[in-house]
Structure 1
């Protein structure tokens, strides 16, 4: 049975589209119905969903890009925060992809396997105890990103607060502090960002130029949603 909360959180962190905007009331309802998420965090998630639903699509897309695409310290590719560009990252990526496939999960996206919306999509298909164990391993990353988003007064911070609650673990403060030692990126410094991201992109999913499933089919209902492909 699909865990609607993990599905909803995956969609909140997906690249905004008009189709996603239309689905926000259903996504918000799924989150506010989950007693595992504290009321204060639910309120923050509802505010984010409302902003995504009603905001100008170009404004919300720009905000998303400035946060998650132009700020490496806010990257939604989780291994970026623990492995950087070391060889360990490639091995971890392959291992995660094998975990997906061994569980019968084949991501329909051009994103990397460690992309958080993809991981949450996978967790929505797994028993909660298993999902919670995986979240616990990444809780220090979630806390670091939540802290950085809080500094920017970002509406997205409650998503990571929710993930920390759902992980059911006490965060390793030393591990969080180690991640936070890296200075925040300046998303407006394009020259510096180009230098940071100059390495060749690695893709594990389908060819992003090969097209993607019809978005209206993906948004037909919470039980059949799949991750939004940014090439749509």
Structure 2
């Protein structure tokens, strides 16, 4: 029976699992994937469009399963107008809660514990011997991916692992919208270890419920980092 009223019940979303199987990559290939994704997930200013030739060349050296989504994204962006692409970027990442590029947002939402999470990111950079020097917040996914690509640090891997739920929720949300940026996040997912069942269940909960609005009883998914020489 058709009705003009919105449905009172809707099916729970299921997280697609075909992208969760990792692709075997060398360390250099993984760093390349993360640097490409870092650049492609950043705001598409005029210089962003000028990099496509170089980025295609780097993607060509990756295994096909990872190269294909990156190349498809570049081809799609290359054929779009800059103004429309920039508008789509803002509408996607700035206006949709489940499409946030700030990793700690998925664990803390807009709550007072967000500040603690951001400090933990800064501690992580410093523990690896790096300083975060950018206009964005330290949990900005393109910045974390650049950190992973440039440092090849276990700390960067730990950050991505600790916030795997957020990455998977972002991927699921983008794929559900048929967003072109889903291709880039899919490539990132393919470069990471396979998620375990517990993580997958937490991802599914976030996919259905979104980032928290209250953090009572919620523990932040952050490892503890110490700088060299600190006991």
Is the partner of 1:105 in helix, strand or coil? coil
TM-align CA RMSD = 2.4
Specify the alignment match of 1:146 in structure 2: 171
Specify the alignment match of 1:174 in structure 2: 201
Within a 5 Å distance, the mapping from 1:59-138 to structure 2 comes to 59-127=84-152, 130-138=155-163
Specify the alignment match of 1:206 in structure 2: none
Structure 1 residues 48, 81: closer, same or farther in 2, change over 3 A? Answer: same
Structure 2: give runs of 5+ residues left out of the alignment: 1-26, 214-231
Q: Distance in 1 between matches of 2:55 and 2:95?
A: 26
173-182 vs 103-112, greater mean Cα deviation: 103-112
Larger radius of gyration: 2
Q: Distance in 2 between matches of 1:145 and 1:61?
A: 19
Q: Check the 8 A contact 1:10/1:121 in 2, yes or no.
A: yes
Q: Check the 8 A contact 2:33/2:188 in 1, yes or no.
A: no
Cα deviation for residue 66 of structure 1 reads 0.8
Specify the alignment match of 2:180 in structure 1: 155
Is the partner of 1:179 in helix, strand or coil? helix
28, 32, 45: which one aligns with 2:60: 32
CA-to-partner distance for each residue in 1:159-178, whole Å, 9 max, x for gaps? 22222221112252211111
Specify the alignment match of 2:43 in structure 1: 15
Q: Check the 8 A contact 1:144/1:179 in 2, yes or no.
A: yes
Structure 1: give runs of 5+ residues left out of the alignment: 185-195, 197-232
Cα deviation for residue 89 of structure 1 reads 1.8
CA-to-partner distance for each residue in 1:48-82, whole Å, 9 max, x for gaps? 11222342110110110111011121000111111
Q: Check the 8 A contact 2:44/2:86 in 1, yes or no.
A: yes
Q: Check the 8 A contact 1:15/1:64 in 2, yes or no.
A: yes
Q: Check the 8 A contact 1:146/1:157 in 2, yes or no.
A: yes
Cα deviation for residue 104 of structure 1 reads 3.6
Q: Check the 8 A contact 1:139/1:169 in 2, yes or no.
A: no
TM-score where L is the length of structure 1 = 0.70
